[in-house]
A and B are shown apart, each in its own frame.
Chain A
Amino acid sequence: MLKGPTPEVDTGEALPLLDVRDLTVEFQTRRGVVQAVKHVNISLAKGETLGIVGESGSGKSVTSYAVMRILDRAGRIADGSVMFSNLDLRRIDESEMRDLRGREMSMIFQSPRLALNPIRKIGQQIEDVLLQHAQIDRDMVAEKAVEMLEQVRIARPRERYHAYPFELSGGMCQRVVIALALACRPQLLIADEPTTGLDVTTQKAVMDLVTELTRDRGMSTILITHDLGLAAAYCDKVIVMEKGHVVETATSETIFRSPEHPYTRKLMRATPRPGITLRDLLPEDEAKRAGATGTTAVKSGAPLLKVEKLVKEYPRQGSTSSLSRLFRTGPAPEGDVFRAVDSISFEIARGESVGLVGESGCGKSTTSMMLMRLIDKTSGSITFDGEDIGSIPARAFATLPQRKRIQMVFQDPTDSLNPRFTAARAIADPLLRLSDISRKEIRTRIEELATQVGLPLNLLDRFPHQLSGGQKARVGIARAIALKPDLVVLDEPTAALDVSVQAVVLNLLQDLKDKLGMSYLFVSHDLNVVRLLCDCVIVMKSGQIVEQGPTERILTTPAADYTRELLTAIPHPPL
């Protein structure tokens, strides 16, 4: 609905706006020269939207940096030509290039918060761009900045002109970045993962805005993304990159209906979508080898975990001093606190996996932290296997025997591994602290765990920075299951991973569950992933549970408007 030729598209033989031929980019590293981009050809017509899709390390960002000539010092364009209209971007000098950037070609970066100067008002930042390129007189510029904010649908633009980036949400910040990028009416917009880290509903709003604005102005857009669904929904043409090479170029329609290159097919398969099983994510031969997933053996009887009327309140700004907390008697006055989790109740049976879904700030992480007993609840009860663990202070819980039975896999596999511990040492940590396994047997157990999670044994002595994202995720999973826990909380365990790695990790999690009979609480913002792995799903919004029930029912016939909104916001490849 968002695609289709726009009036400006000139399908004739006219000069393309951007013509990249045989582009090769090299990086000088400690171990010699590395080619990040190899002989890439891109041709972008006026008014066209081009998607560059690939996994991390495929060279998709480097390609766009090379076009903008903003490679870092170690990188250089080794070969090829970059023609913009009829300017040779490799030839012109830096001052001309500086003039082009922002005026003729601009860029939207991945993290909107990092792209904005944190100590300047957003209105002034837009003015800076306009004045830099002498687009407007000084006395008119404030009006123009407000107008730009209005165009990117920021409510009350006159007021927001004076806002600082930290006062705005992630989605709002990205709108400001878009306003900055479009302020001088450039001809080319490069959006580098513009919506990664944003919620699905925000993603939809931002992408709709970008497509609409660029279409109105007849701009050409390059959308760099790892998300095939997103590229399919918003691009006319798609380029698939792997390890610095372009493996396939086609219109988005054909690439999704009949992908030719095996890598494209593998990517397509690995993308979670409705109507498939976990095994369908894996490449065909591996899926066959893995066999069918075990049937979920949800045991009846008393639930493993029972949460009742759980509440977590945080003091609001201004009342955070511990003096005021120390001398306060009775409950905090109304309005003084923020309810991150507002009286939620649910159960998890033995062997069941429950998905906890919601957008950022809905309280799902706070909930999982309370269940993990890493933070204390404000009120309510958490009953684990018939025992009230909610009343044990978080600080004391660390060394109790119950600690063994509830473990967690963290969102960011890099952040959750101690940079100074080898993989083996990281897996050994819980064994050393909480089990009575002898020092001699510990290596055997580590190797057994590594085999279970599919981590090659020769990687066990590596440090985290020497492992890939998927390998780090495996280490994190091995550590979580080392003590044979009954409940594992999975906090977006695949959010930081490429789709093909995500496919493997999700299958691994399912196999482990079948084998070890654990229960999962799967915290995620991605309904497609939850659909694959979970028996039940809980949808949260602003600290409250909107809806809960069996996954199939919730995802096919949602009762709440909010769930429906979440479902429609997910971009799907046209399959």
Chain B
Amino acid sequence: MTDTLNAMPPATDTAPPVPAEKPERNSMLRHARYVASENPVTGLAFALFALIALCALIGPYIVPHDPLASDTAAALQPPSWKHWFGTDQLGRDILSRVVVATRLDFVIAITSVALVFAMGGLAGIAAGYFGGWTDRIISRLSDTIMAFPLFVLAMGIVAALGNTVTNIVIATAIINFPLYVRVARAEANVRREAGFVQAARLSGNGDVRILLGHILPNIMPIMMVQISLTMGYAILNAAGLSFIGLGVKPPTPEWGIMVAEGAANIISGEWWIALFPGAALMLAVFTFNLLGDGLRDLVDPQRRT
């Protein structure tokens, strides 16, 4: 905290004692460090996120075993020094499979959230800003989606479109659509008549510029919370689809499938097959949920004091 303080030029003129931060190249990084140190939970979330991202990036190159190589001689072994997380029915190393699966689950979560943020976020601010028929159509559309049990809807979409990763992404995006629309709509609606929006209109900004250049950046903090929450939800959803056989196909390592494969063996005492991928899943969801507050602080300039 002290270096943040020292970096501030002294307040000048009749200004209230507000610290000014010169916009420098590294100010975002420094701010991230500040946000993380301010709140230990956020720091933990950032660290866990870095771990997950690292696994997704370089996981396949560092694992001790080939995640697909089966070795029936070593099937169903409990955790040991050779196989830290044990082995499954086909003798595959569970640690390797859990680590390698990170990339797929992570990519599904990120792409589906990016997709739904683009669709739902834009539709929502348009609905909130324009009101009238735009609002009616978009809101009723999202109400219609909300009317279905969401997981069943996702199942239906994947079943109808085909069992591919792309379709899992699309299905996950669609079921999260209403959440984004509602938040973005409410936030845009209260800002529609705000002074700075009127001022932007006076400055000659058209509606599109006002929406994207003025309103959207202002609702980013709250959208960030939404993004991190739905990230966790998206991972759960993708894993859930795979668990019931409607997603990634075996033998591709994926947390949902691995839990499904291990579920039958829990009764016979081989708990490790389902436990470790399940724990990885839980950890990922936990991380994303914790991340929300930190992300909000990161994108909100008012916190940067």
Contacts and interface: CB of A to CB of B under 8 A. Distances in A.
Interface of A: 30-31, 57, 322, 372, 374, 395, 398-399, 403-404, 407-408, 410-412, 415-422, 429-430, 433-434, 456, 458-459, 461-463, 465-468, 470-471, 476, 479-480
Interface string B1-20: 00001000100111110111
B199 A31 contact: no
B82 interface: no
B203 A429 contact: yes
The 7 closest A-B pairs by CB, nearest first: A416-B195, A433-B204, A430-B203, A415-B195, A434-B204, A418-B196, A429-B203
Contacts of B202: 372, 374, 398, 403, 407-408, 430, 480
B205 A429 contact: yes
A31 B5 contact: yes
A336 B132 CA distance: 20
B204 A470 contact: no
B19 A461 contact: no
A395 B208 CA distance: 12
B305 interface: yes
A467 B15 contact: yes
B164 interface: no
Q: Is the interface of A mostly helix, strand, loop or mixed?
A: loop
B258 to A, nearest CB: 43
A57 B305 contact: no
Interface string B182-199: 000000000000111011
Nearest to A34: B17
Contacts, number: 109
Contacts of B132: 322
B218 to A, nearest CB: 6
B23 A419 contact: no
Nearest to A462: B20
Contacts of B207: 395
B125 to A, nearest CB: 15
Contact of A471 (B15, B19, B194, B217): B15
A468 B305 contact: no
A430 to B, nearest CB: 4
B25 interface: no
A466 B22 CA distance: 12
Contact of A398 (B13, B23, B205): B205
Contacts of B199: 408, 410, 416-418, 429, 476, 479
Given A31-B5, A418-B196, A422-B23, A468 B203 contact: no
Contacts of A456: 12-13
B251 interface: no
A415 B204 contact: no
Given A416-B196, A465-B305, 10 more contacts: A322-B132, A374-B202, A395-B207, A410-B198, A412-B195, A420-B301, A429-B205, A461-B22, A468-B15, A471-B13
Nearest to A427: B203
Contacts of A395: 207
Interface in B151-171: none
B218 A418 contact: yes
Contacts of A462: 18, 20
A430 B204 contact: yes
B19 A31 contact: yes
A419 B15 contact: no
19 contacts: A30-B305, A322-B132, A374-B202, A403-B204, A408-B199, A410-B199, A411-B195, A415-B195, A418-B217, A422-B23, A429-B199, A433-B203, A433-B204, A434-B204, A458-B12, A463-B302, A465-B301, A468-B14, A471-B13
A465 B196 contact: no
